[in-house]
Structures are given as structure tokens and as C-alpha cells.
Amino acid sequence: MSEVRTYYYRILEPHGKMRTGFYQLGVAHDTSARLRLEGEFGGTVVSLWRLPAPVTGLYKGVAGLFARNVKADDCTSFLRDLGVMQTAGVPTLEALRTIINERRGSGAHGIAQIAQQLYDDMDAGVPISEAFARRPDIFSETVRNLIAIGDRSGSVDRMLMEAADHMERVINIRRNIRTALIYPAFVFSTLFAVMGFWITYVVPKLGDLFDRLNADLPAITRWLVSFSAMFADHFLIVLAGLAGAVVAMVMLYRRHEPTRRGVHTLLHYLPVTKRIVTASGMATMTEHLAILVRSGLDVVTSLSVLQRTTRDLYYERRLERLNDAVQRGEPIGGAMRLAGGFPPMVVRMVSVGEESGSLDEQLNYLAREYRSRLDTIIASLSEIIKPVIVILAGGLLVFMVVALLLPIYDLIRQTMAMQAGGV
């Protein structure tokens, strides 16, 4: 697929009115953008400027603030409804008009707007594959490729259903992972909140008590009291600093590719996260490859699409090596072995599928297997994390007992001894 570029245009319409605006197009050359704009608006392009990458990013960000939100579930439902009506013989434009009216009535204005844009394009004579290709921010490259294959082969209805099923499975994988992370996130948040309460409220009061009694405190207690006093005195500054650090780390992760690649690589080596990202990555990649290969795309093109659509930069680099090796004539299984990072079972089954001509079937089996493994891991994730939580909570408890409760116990014992001596 061509790179998505943003243009500022001025078009002289047939009735003499000058139209201006911004437009995003997936084209390889500016000439193609000019021809497409003239075909869509029916006028003459007077001037056309391609925005540089930084300005394009800024435009996307500003446009995203005002754009209607299109949920992945709405997009999946849209593809499925359109596919069902096409299978039943309903003309595409009539099916789109039905979806537009239904979505507007149900309050799903974002997907209704996308359907309206598709309707306008196709009503002007644009093929359905081209209409989908103009919206790369809504439809993934895999979905756009499936629609393009269906348009060429006359099986758009089947490809729409295939795309809907694919998106639904990907959504379920991501939703299950997010659901599994809720419990540990809640537990760790609670632990930090309790620690914050002790540091800002309980420990300073105990410190005042120790000062009034002139208690001889151990070093760990003195350090904790001093740290608590400093934290309480500069609470807002510390809070702002922590918030700033979190925002900086998030921005660094999003904007700095080496950092993002390092995080993804680290996740593939940590004991718990390794199982999750491997199962998730293999389920998603084999799912994509199976769909693209079964739809008629050659392996090199399918791997290129997969490389561009994957979010895991650890696998992106390995897919790049894999694609290069396949282009040199290496068999896919052998190329996977050379690229590294692919489980031995995947390498072996892909090799068998390639030799027997059943590559898509083997990839489908792998996708089902790794989805099942991911479900099992997610279901047992709380059991996997419980020991870490217990160790952390126990460590904090021991620290508090040693730092605070033992000095209090010593004070009580000294007081009782003094009272006994006085008697």
C-alpha cells in the first residue's frame, strides 16, 4: 500500500467556486493525488501542496481532537453488516445507506460518518477497494488488502465477512489482555496508596511522638521519619514531579522508537510477560498470515503487510529479516529459523505447510492454538502474579514492623520498666 500523505489543495469547481482544504490520500506520487482530487470533486486542481512529515503529524493530532471517535467494535459490526447484506444480494450503495440510517439512529455517529464517506466515494464512481484505501486511519492494512482482493475477484461479500471475523478475534485478544491486567493494576495501586497514606500521615505523627519522648531510634527509623517529613513538606512538588516523570516516560515510549523497541524486547525476556507477548504475537501474526495467504496474496507481500501492521517492534525486526530471506529464495520455515524469535513449533509447522501446500491450514491451526494458550495464560495470570504481590506486600510489612513497631515496642518496654522501678 502507498504511503499516506496529507495535502492542502485549491480546486476550481465547474460552477466557478474555489474549494480549499486538507486531504489525506494513500498515493505514491503527487500526480496521483491531483488526478484523484479532480475525479472526486469534478473540478480542476489549481494548486496542491504536500505537507511535510512534522506538519502532517500535527494536522493528524489536531484533526483527531475534533474527529468523531470510531470504536473498533463499531468498525467490526459495520463490516459484518455490509458483508451480510452483500451476501443477500443487496446493492452496495443501498446497503451503505441502510447502515448510515441505522447507525445515526442508534447514536453511532462516528461509523455513520465513515459509511457516508464511503457512500459518497462509491456514488461518484470510486471502486469499493479504493474507497476503503482512502481511510487507512480507520481500516487496517489487512482489512484494506482483503477488500482489494475481493474487489478484484468478485468476492467482496466473503472478504467483508473475513475481515469482520479477523477484527473480532484481534479485538478479543486485546480485550482479554487488558482484562487480565486489571487485577494486578488494582492491587499495586492499592499498595502504593496505602504506602502514601502511611508516609504522609502516620509516620510524621509517630516521628513527633518519638521527638517528644527523646527516643533513641535505630538508623532505619530515623531515615524513614526524615524521608516522610521531606515528602510531606514537599508533597505537591513530589506529586508534580512524579506526574511529569510518568508523562515524560509515556511520551518517550510513544515518540522514541529505540525506547519503544527496547521495552518490547525486554517484555520478551521477562519471565511472566514473555509468555503473554509470545502467545499474543504468534496468535496475531499467524492469524494475519493465514488470512492474507488464503485470500491469494503471495508470501512476500503478506509478510510486508504483516511487518507494517505489527505493533510489536521486537517482531517487526524479525519479520523484516524473514521477508528479506524469503525474497532471497529461502523457504519460509528456514527463513524463520534464521530470523530468530519464532518458537520451534511455529517454524516446524510452517515448514510442513510449505512442503505440503497447506500453509494456510497450518497457520490457521497455529492461530487457534496460540489463542487457546493466550486464554489459558490470561485465566491464570492472577495466580502467576500472586507470589509477586505476596512478596512485595510481605516486604513492605516487614519494613514497617522493623522501622516503626519495634521502636514503639522498645518505648513501651522502657516506660513499663521505669514505672516498675519507681514503684
Nearest in space to 10 (alpha carbons), one of 35, 37, 32: 37
Residue 186 lies in a domain: no
Q: How confident is the model over 57-106, as pLDDT tens digits?
A: 665 555 554 445 678 888 899 999 999 999 999 999 999 999 998 888 88
Q: How confident is the model over 345-367, as pLDDT tens digits?
A: 999 999 998 888 888 889 889 98
Q: How confident is the model over 118-137, as pLDDT tens digits?
A: 888 888 788 898 888 878 77
Q: Which CATH number fits the domain that encloses residue 298?
A: 1.20.81.30
> Last residue of a domain, which of 26, 42, 66?
66
Residue 255 lies in a domain: no
* Overall size of the chain counted in residues: 423
Same domain, 13 and 98: no
Nearest in space to 160 (alpha carbons), one of 172, 171, 147, 170: 147
In this structure, is the dihedral angle defined by the CA atoms of residues 123, 129, 135 and 138, taken in order, positive or negative? positive
Residue 121 lies in a domain: yes
Q: Residue 330: is it exposed, middle or buried by C-beta count within 10 angstroms (0-12/13-18/19+)? A: middle
Strongest mean pLDDT among 292-306, 349-363, 404-418: 349-363
Phi, psi angles (nearest 5°) of residue 340: 75, 160
Domain count, the chain: 3
Strands, sheet with 44-50, edge to edge from the N-terminal-most edge strand: 18-26, 4-12, 44-50
Q: How confident is the model over 3-45, as pLDDT tens digits?
A: 567 788 888 877 777 888 877 766 667 787 787 777 766 778 8
CA–CA distance from 131 to each of 136, 147, 163, 272 (Å)?
Answer: 10, 10, 16, 43
Q: How confident is the model over 195-227, as pLDDT tens digits?
A: 888 888 888 888 887 777 777 777 888 888 888
Question: What is the C-alpha separation between 62 and 419, in angstroms, rounded?
Answer: 73
Cβ-based neighbours of 216, under 8 Å, separated by 6 or more: none
Same domain, 47 and 130: no
Q: Which CATH number fits the domain that encloses residue 16?
A: 3.10.20
Question: What is the C-alpha separation between 107 and 102, in angstroms, rounded?
Answer: 9
Question: What is the C-alpha separation between 100 and 398, in angstroms, rounded?
Answer: 62
Same domain, 53 and 143: no
Averaged pLDDT, 369-376: 86
Residue 234 lies in a domain: no
Same domain, 59 and 104: no
Same domain, 85 and 49: no
Q: How confident is the model over 244-269, as pLDDT tens digits?
A: 998 889 888 888 888 988 999 998 88
Same domain, 120 and 29: no
Residue 41 lies in a domain: yes
Residue 251 lies in a domain: no
Nearest in space to 303 (alpha carbons), one of 318, 326, 323, 324: 323
> Last residue of a domain, which of 33, 66, 99?
66
Same domain, 78 and 32: no
Same domain, 97 and 121: yes
CA–CA distance from 73 to each of 9, 77, 183, 244, 366 (Å)?
Answer: 33, 6, 24, 33, 25
Same domain, 348 and 366: yes
H helix count then E strand count, the chain: 20, 3
Residue 150 lies in a domain: yes
- pTM greater than 0.75 (yes/no): no
Residue 301 lies in a domain: yes
Cβ-based neighbours of 221, under 8 Å, separated by 6 or more: 210, 403, 404, 407
> Last residue of a domain, which of 110, 135, 169?
169
Q: Could you list the residue range(s) of the whole structural domain that residue 35 is in? A: 4-66
Averaged pLDDT, 183-190: 79
CA–CA distance from 419 to each of 20, 52, 413, 423 (Å)?
Answer: 91, 82, 10, 6
